[in-house]
A and B are shown apart, each in its own frame.
Chain A
């Protein structure tokens, strides 16, 4: 790969990301799969980086899962988007940041649809007023949560407690990224670095001392694909796509996978256990998987957060080998303690792949 070629693309696909004052909306599924990611994201942006980021308790789903499963029509989905924007407007913000890649794609789709067809925007406004007497302004800026961390990556790097390096050798960790399909594949100009060679995650990895590894199936879907997973009969197809990705990245011996999409992090992590059962093969060496981190978790580790406060105990694939490599201290005894210090239920641990 010619780095000069990639740099040229990155320079042509820059994205304007405002520096402060954000209205934040959460992801439906990330809160369930990796609940600490979003909480720590707010802590990082507010506490570590001193930015104003606000979330409102009345914000809801964007409707993406229902829309992509054809349970609700686009007009309904866009009316939900209009309601989200109305809460932003009422809260006094105009920079919108969303946690979910699918939501990001849908917000882009709605804004683009309204731009091309103002009559649809007028209809959405009418429906929103009819249903809940709300009005909204179009956000001045719409970004994904990973865009904001990309924008602030050097500030995070400057405050780094742990770099993405091997604490013993000083060598950069080898990191493979997976960018969610809806981040830029639908609207390439909306993604940092475009759709084919996005820089949003690799930029973070490099800024924090790691080495970003290119691998053949980098652009392939993680397998989630909504109807591939949500329709039970299709789940084999979902696993087979994840399998393709893992097979493709395995020869590069990555230290971990970084993702910016709720579903991708989940499936790349969980399916490693399923594939281990099906094929007796693990991708991080005998009995070991490749740890999967959300970008918030990676930022949190770099900034010195306790791994269990970042929710890394919620991962299927054991993160301890990665923590050891990075020299991140952790107390195994506290892994399954809740935030109140009391023990939370321990998961049943499989023997085929290491989970702790």
Chain B
């Protein structure tokens, strides 16, 4: 089995963890990353809930020891073809790799918040996204964040929204919003911070504590209702219209900063890859596993495996678990050949 080739498509957390696991099992996986750096979305995030551990620390531990892994950046996969039991993976860097198994860890895209035009992202300076906020936490710099007095977090932007054809929950935005709300409150203790939510889905271990602390320790105010319109006043403050469904009333507020919690969506190339490899997509646009209970890492096409958020929204621990189980399943598959 030592001579078998495994190509992993995507050098984010799932790809890195799967590569490490396969390497530790004595294999030499080939890891292909389309961008110029390994790490995926971890590169864009400052800290991780619920422990607030730095994303860079997690990434460092993932990339500290890549010996035995052949990894290539700037290597976007352009085509995957199959000859008998061998897959040929052609990349934008001009190489073609032979593989006995291919693991897709292509991840997700953050929802493009400009599509929710009514929320004003890309139009008003003080409307930012969760990714912008993480960048601010990492660098301490944002041209529009100067001692904000009122800050709003809008949950479910691009998630659970029929208007943009996505009924699905993104799973991690509630916890991310609360983490960011507490963090910004620490930076600006005098600021009043609001979270506009539909439901708070705090299902993970330690998440409910985060929510409790957000209310009791940080004084974050939770408003059950969606923001429906954002406009800009003369002094560049934001005027928002929302609904408080517990009060049963429409509300208007002024905000110095509004943070949109962009949800998790399939990458643009998911459909092309699925079509190329003849693997099935779910109604949410993510890859479908062969079955949802036992063979969660197998695609509908033999030899093509799946891990991480390319199969739908997942937390980071779930992503790592998925990557390790995919590696184990690939080993079983190759041994059976």
Residues on A facing B (Cβ under 8 Å):
1-2, 5-6, 8-9, 194-197, 214-219, 251-252
B-side contacts of A1, CB under 8 Å: 123-124, 232
Contact check, A218 vs B231: say whether CB atoms are below 8 A apart.
Answer: yes
**Chain B CB within 10 Å, residue with most, of A9, A194, A196, A252:** A196
Contact status B123-A219, CB under 8 Å: no
Main secondary structure, interface of A, reads loop
Judge whether B239 is part of the interface by a CB distance below 8 angstroms: yes
Min CB gap A196→B, angstroms: 4
B34 to chain A, nearest CB (A): 25
Query: B229: which A residues are within 8 A, CB to CB?
Result: 219
Additional pairs, 9, CB under 8 Å, beyond known A5-B114, A8-B122, A216-B231: A1-B123, A2-B122, A5-B122, A194-B117, A196-B118, A197-B123, A214-B231, A215-B231, A219-B229
In the complex, B94 has a CB within 8 A of chain A = no
List the A residue with the shortest CB-CB distance to B118.
Answer: A196
The residues of B that contact A251 with a CB separation of less than 8 Å are 234
Chain B residues in 8 Å Cβ range of A215: 231
Interface contact A2-B234, CB-CB below 8 Å? no
Give min CB distance, B198 to chain A, whole Å. 21
Q: How far is the CB of A12 from chain B (nearest CB, A)?
A: 9
**A214 adjacent to B117 (CB under 8 Å):** no
Q: Which residues of the other chain, B, contact A6 by a CB distance below 8 angstroms?
A: 123
Nearest CB in chain B: distance from A177 CB, A: 14
Instruction: Say yes or no: is B125 at the interface (Cβ < 8 Å to chain A).
Output: yes
Contact B232 A252 (CB under 8 A): no
CB-CB under 8 A from A216, the residues of chain B are 231-233, 239
Query: Whole-angstrom distance from the CB of A116 to the nearest CB of chain B?
Result: 16
* Count of CB-CB pairs between chains A and B under 8 Å: 35
Chain B interfacial residues counted at CB < 8 A:
13
Identify which of B117, B122, B123, B231 contacts A217 (C-beta below 8 A). B231
A2, A9, A218, A252: the one contacting B117 at CB < 8 Å is A9
Kindly list chain B residues whose C-beta atoms are within 8 Å of the C-beta of A9: 114, 117, 123
- Contact residues of B between 252 and 277, Cβ < 8 Å to A: none
CA distance A195 to B118 in the complex (A): 9
B125 proximity list for chain A (CB < 8 A): 2
In the complex, the chain A residue whose C-beta lies closest to that of B238 is A216
A2–B143 CA distance with the chains assembled, in angstroms? 14
CA distance A60 to B234 in the complex (A): 44
Q: How far is the CA of A101 from the CA of B309 in the complex (A)?
A: 45
Q: Which residues of chain A come closer than 8 Å to B232, judged between CB atoms?
A: 1, 214, 216
Q: A194-B117, A195-B117, A197-B117 are in contact. Are A5 and B231 (CB under 8 A)?
A: no
- A2 lies within 8 A of B233 (CB): no
For the complex, give the distance between the alpha carbons of A214 and B125 in Å: 14
Closest to B229 in A: A219
Q: How far is the CB of B241 from chain A (nearest CB, A)?
A: 9
The 6 closest A-B pairs by CB, nearest first: A196-B117, A5-B122, A216-B231, A5-B123, A216-B239, A196-B118
A-B contact pairs, 20 of them (CB 8 A): A1-B124, A2-B123, A2-B124, A5-B114, A5-B123, A8-B122, A9-B114, A9-B117, A194-B117, A196-B118, A197-B117, A197-B123, A214-B232, A215-B231, A216-B231, A216-B232, A216-B239, A217-B231, A218-B231, A219-B229
Q: Which residues of A contact B231 (CB under 8 A)?
A: 214-219
Q: Which residues of A contact B124 (CB under 8 A)?
A: 1-2
User: Chain B's nearest CB lies how many Å from the CB of A286?
Assistant: 21
- Residues of A near B123 (CB, < 8 A) are 1-2, 5-6, 9, 197
Q: What is the bound-complex CA distance between A9 and B115, given in angstroms? A: 9
Cα of A195 to Cα of B124 in the assembled complex, Å: 17
Complex CA gap A5/B234 in Å reads 18
* B118, B123, B124, B229 — most chain A CB neighbours (10 Å): B123
Q: How far is the CA of A5 from the CA of B232 in the complex (A)?
A: 14
* Per-position 1/0 for B118-137, Cβ under 8 A of A: 10001111000000000000
In the complex, chain B residues 229-255 whose Cβ is within 8 Å of any chain A Cβ: 229, 231-234, 239
Cβ–Cβ contact A252 & B234, under 8 A = yes
- Output the least CB separation between B123 and chain A (Å): 4
| Chain A residues whose C-beta falls within 8 Å of the C-beta of B233 in the assembled complex | 216
With both chains docked as a complex, state the minimum distance between the C-beta of A42 and any C-beta of chain B, in angstroms.
34
Q: How far is the CB of B239 from chain A (nearest CB, A)?
A: 4
Interchain CA distance A195-B229 in the complex, whole Å:
12
Provide the residues of chain B in CB contact with A2, threshold 8 Å. 122-125
Q: How far is the CA of A1 from the CA of B233 in the complex (A)?
A: 10
Interchain CA distance A251-B232 in the complex, whole Å: 13
- In the docked arrangement, what's the CA distance between A194 and B114, Å? 13
Q: Which of B231, B232, B239 has the most CB of A within 10 A?
A: B231
B232 nearest CB across to chain A (Å): 6
* Residues of B with C-beta under 8 A to A219: 229, 231
CB-defined contacts of B118 to chain A, threshold 8 Å = 196
In the complex formed, the residue of B with least CB distance to A214 is B232
Residues of A contacting B117 in the complex (Cβ-Cβ under 8 angstroms): 9, 194-197
